[in-house]
Structure 1
Amino acid sequence: MTGCRTRSLTWFGQLWEYETPKVIVVKNRHLGTIYRLLQLLIIVYFAWYVFVVQKGYQAQETGPESAVITKVKGVSTSKASRGAKRIWDVAEYVKPPEGGSIFTIITRTESTKLQTVGTCPESKSVIDARCVSAEDCRYGDMHVLGHGLQTGRCVNATRGSLRTCEILAWCPLEDETVTSESLHEFVPSFTILIKNNIHFPQFGFSKGNIEGENALKSCTYHPIHSPSCPIFTIDFIVKEAGVNFTEIAYKGGIIGVIINWNCNLDLHPSKCRPQYTFRRLDLRNNISTGYNYRFAKYYNKNGTEARTLIKVYGIRIDVIVHGQAGKFSLIPTIINLATALTSIGVGTVFCDWILLTFMNKDHMYSLRKYDKVWKLEEMNTATITTVSSLQDSPATSESLCTNHDPPYKDSPSPLSESITDQKGQQEQSCDGTELPPGS
């Protein structure tokens, strides 16, 4: 019980301890070199990288509010069935036509014409629809990869002895009578106008990528000669994305136009300009490559609803906008300055670790660095004499030789013996009486 009480009192007493740094000058060439190098590295890091590169003195805002409007210009042709030429304009080859940030320019089509609702054999490519007899076909079944509803009959597939289940669908099927048209001959010369307006709400700053009244009359984007022009050719976009045009026109693909706004609002607003980069976004592999989709055009044929199913391959353009803006602010400046000044102390911690771990000879550095000092509980304050009172007193020599208890007591150290000897010599010189050793 007594031990627990003692430990509790000891722990309670530690609550009132106070630690203060002690300055010790260590004259060591190697340790001093390490210390100065660490300080230099920390200063260079904060001065160059944090404040110059990262602009640590600014308040930052990322992800601006953005609006994108696109317009495509150009006309192309394709060879239709029986060698006839067909004209393609913007209303036909741009999907969707609204002019948003994502759109497709059609480069090739596969059309299945004169489709009507009726019965026909399922496609041979649907493995689950292959059959030997009617027992293999269940009425009302529908395969996920199929084209229609099974009728329960097993019939001969078109062009071959293979038999498949009969289905109710849009017939004839796409795989049987498809015709292909390519219009990529003039596609490289198509132009795309990209209008982009951004807004940083934190700073109340808005900017667009079109500057000047005559900016759109006769310009085409070039990263060096015309970096502010927002009109791009398909040929330039495809080349900058590192894509072969013939390949992407045949199988389709997705290309991203990345617009990056990096604005330093401490400068004039005219210095805030977008940077354009281009990259292919779809993955090219053996499983699924390219980009395509289907749509249908419906019409009436002799009172019967019919349609033309069109599978299109094209270049899909995704306009992606990124951005960040910065402006001087006192709060981040103070925070980074305080962090820099605090980080300089890392050199002291590191050198102390080296000093006490690898260079601590006979614990000499430890004894010099760590001291424990506490105030005596019972102390006669009247015995403390100031320097000024010593100078004014007529019995100066007698007061100087009077031995009083110090106001603070130090923990024992290797120097205690030498201090005791010096104290004994002082007492001997004052009263003229030689004291015995140890008294």
Structure 2
Amino acid sequence: MCQRSSYQIFDRSPISAVTIKVKPSSDCSKNSSIMRFFPNYHCEQSLYDVNDFIIPATENSAVSITTRVIEIEHVLRLCDTTARRKHSNKYSSFNITSIHECYEQKRCLLPPLYRYEYENEKIIKKPQLCWFKLPTAASKRNYRALNYILFIKHFVEFPQLGLIRDNLVANKIKPKYIDTCEYHPKYHPLCPKFRILKILEMIETNPEEYEAMFFYGSLIEIKINWKCNLDRRLEYCQPHYEFQRLDIQPYRENPYDPGSNFLTSRYYFRPNESALHRIHTKIYNLHIIVSVTGEVGRFDLFQTTTSIGSFLGIFGTGTIVCDFVAAFFTNFKNLKYDI
């Protein structure tokens, strides 16, 4: 009877909007307990431009921070396993003479530059092309992402009760405080700035996973939870941050492609060459998703009277149960009445 659900109505369907900015930290966190698990990272190294590692640049309530990049170069050439083939057409931009062996089954593979030219041709008339891998390949790691700072701003509305709040809580967060604070679950629980290094500490306790998260990428959720009692003062309505990993862990138990990654390509021609080249880029990242949930309650007279009526109805139910027991489970022959 004294529970909040007995005298309050609730709105559990918030509408939210989230914006995320990524900035480099002005200093390095050298006191973190997990820094020793990244021996190849040195805080004294010069910082990269953060914008080069936010791919894609815009997402809905999420951000992807690149941790590792593999670039492989390919060249598009005619595929022939028997003899030299020459494809020449004075009206065509495709003019290549080459001998190559296809290690895979031949197929009609048209790059974007030639799709319009051959789209109406039959399959047998289309050139049999293959992407041939060149020996040049590059691999890079972005350990500087450990000291990137996420600045999260979000607005939440509970339309049923007409409540609108944001995580920059009034009378709690001042401009000077935002400039110097970093989130800490105990000392700075309302600070909207999150260091990647601190997030990794909170979501993972296995030291073997830290390097693997940068190698394979990882999927991380930051959950902003609102639980407010509008019968109290509004200043007590504050967000609570929770952090968790969403990808399968540990990575060695994942039978599929572990972590978080995606592929992208760009095409170009080298000077004085007619062969089309492609840079095939595989990007591993920390894909961070921000979700907003909440529950807001407020006193309601109808809910209160309904709960009181239900509570009083329990006594009527008790009378019916007692009569039922007396009628079917009690031996009336053993009862004696004094006259």
TM-score scaled to structure 1, two decimals? 0.56
- Post-superposition shift, 1:190? 1.4
Please identify, of 59-68 and 339-348, the stretch whose mean Cα deviation from structure 2 is larger: 339-348
The equivalent of 1:280 in structure 2 is 245
Residues 105 and 279 of structure 1, relative CA distance in 2, 3 Å threshold: same
Query: Any idea what SS the aligned residue of 1:249 has?
Result: helix
The equivalent of 1:68 in structure 2 is 18
The equivalent of 2:161 in structure 1 is 203
Q: Within 2, Cα distance between the matches of 1:123 and 1:194? A: 49
The equivalent of 2:51 in structure 1 is 91
Q: Within 2, Cα distance between the matches of 1:317 and 1:207? A: 23
Q: Within 1, Cα distance between the matches of 2:210 and 2:288? A: 14
Q: Within 2, Cα distance between the matches of 1:123 and 1:364? A: 98
2:108–2:129 Cα contact (<8 Å) kept: no
- Post-superposition shift, 1:105? 0.8
- Post-superposition shift, 1:141? 8.8
Q: Within 1, Cα distance between the matches of 2:305 and 2:201? A: 47
2:65–2:286 Cα contact (<8 Å) kept: yes
Q: Within 2, Cα distance between the matches of 1:225 and 1:87? A: 28
Between 1 and 2, higher relative CO (CA 8 Å, sep ≥ 6) is seen in: 2
The equivalent of 1:241 in structure 2 is 203
- Post-superposition shift, 1:360? 3.1
Question: Which amino acid is 1:97 matched to?
Answer: A
- Post-superposition shift, 1:140? 4.2
1:217 aligns with 2:179: yes
- Post-superposition shift, 1:172? 2.1
Question: Which amino acid is 1:308 matched to?
Answer: I
1:70–1:99 Cα contact (<8 Å) kept: no
Q: Within 2, Cα distance between the matches of 1:271 and 1:87? A: 40
Query: Any idea what SS the aligned residue of 2:180 has?
Result: coil
- Post-superposition shift, 1:86? 9.7
Paired residues for 1:38-57 under 5 Å: 46-47=1-2, 51=3, 54-57=4-7
1:317 aligns with 2:317: no
TM-score scaled to structure 2, two decimals? 0.71
Structure with more helix by fraction: 1
Question: Which amino acid is 1:93 matched to?
Answer: F
Question: Which amino acid is 1:248 matched to?
Answer: M
Question: Which protein shows a greater Rg?
Answer: 1
1:360 aligns with 2:338: no
Q: Within 1, Cα distance between the matches of 2:248 and 2:103? A: 29
1:193–1:230 Cα contact (<8 Å) kept: yes
Residues 216 and 100 of structure 1, relative CA distance in 2, 3 Å threshold: farther
Query: 1:179 aligned to 130, 138, 143, which one?
Result: 138
1:250 aligns with 2:221: no
1:122–1:167 Cα contact (<8 Å) kept: no
Measured against aligned partners, the alpha-carbon deviations of 1:106-127 in whole angstroms (never above 9, x if no partner) come to 11111113x3332365566xxx
Query: Any idea what SS the aligned residue of 2:176 has?
Result: coil
Question: Which amino acid is 2:220 matched to?
Answer: I
1:61–1:202 Cα contact (<8 Å) kept: yes
Q: Within 2, Cα distance between the matches of 1:178 and 1:339? A: 73
The equivalent of 1:103 in structure 2 is 63
Paired residues for 1:18-417 under 5 Å: 46-47=1-2, 51=3, 54-74=4-24, 88-98=48-58, 100-113=60-73, 115-119=74-78, 121-122=101-102, 129=105, 140=108, 168-172=129-133, 177-183=136-142, 185-211=143-169, 212-242=174-204, 244-284=209-249, 285-288=253-256, 289-302=258-271, 306-362=277-333
Work out the percentage of aligned pairs sharing the same amino acid: 29
Question: Which amino acid is 1:74 matched to?
Answer: P
Q: Within 1, Cα distance between the matches of 2:164 and 2:177? A: 19
Q: Within 2, Cα distance between the matches of 1:68 and 1:286? A: 31
- Post-superposition shift, 1:276? 0.7
Question: Which amino acid is 2:211 matched to?
Answer: T
Consecutive unaligned residues in structure 1, runs of 5 or more? 1-45, 80-84, 130-136, 143-150, 153-165, 369-417, 419-439
Residues 93 and 262 of structure 1, relative CA distance in 2, 3 Å threshold: same
Query: Any idea what SS the aligned residue of 2:178 has?
Result: coil
Equivalences, count: 274
Query: Any idea what SS the aligned residue of 1:256 has?
Result: strand
Question: Which amino acid is 2:187 matched to?
Answer: H
Measured against aligned partners, the alpha-carbon deviations of 1:250-270 in whole angstroms (never above 9, x if no partner) come to 111101111101111122221
Question: Which amino acid is 1:294 matched to?
Answer: L
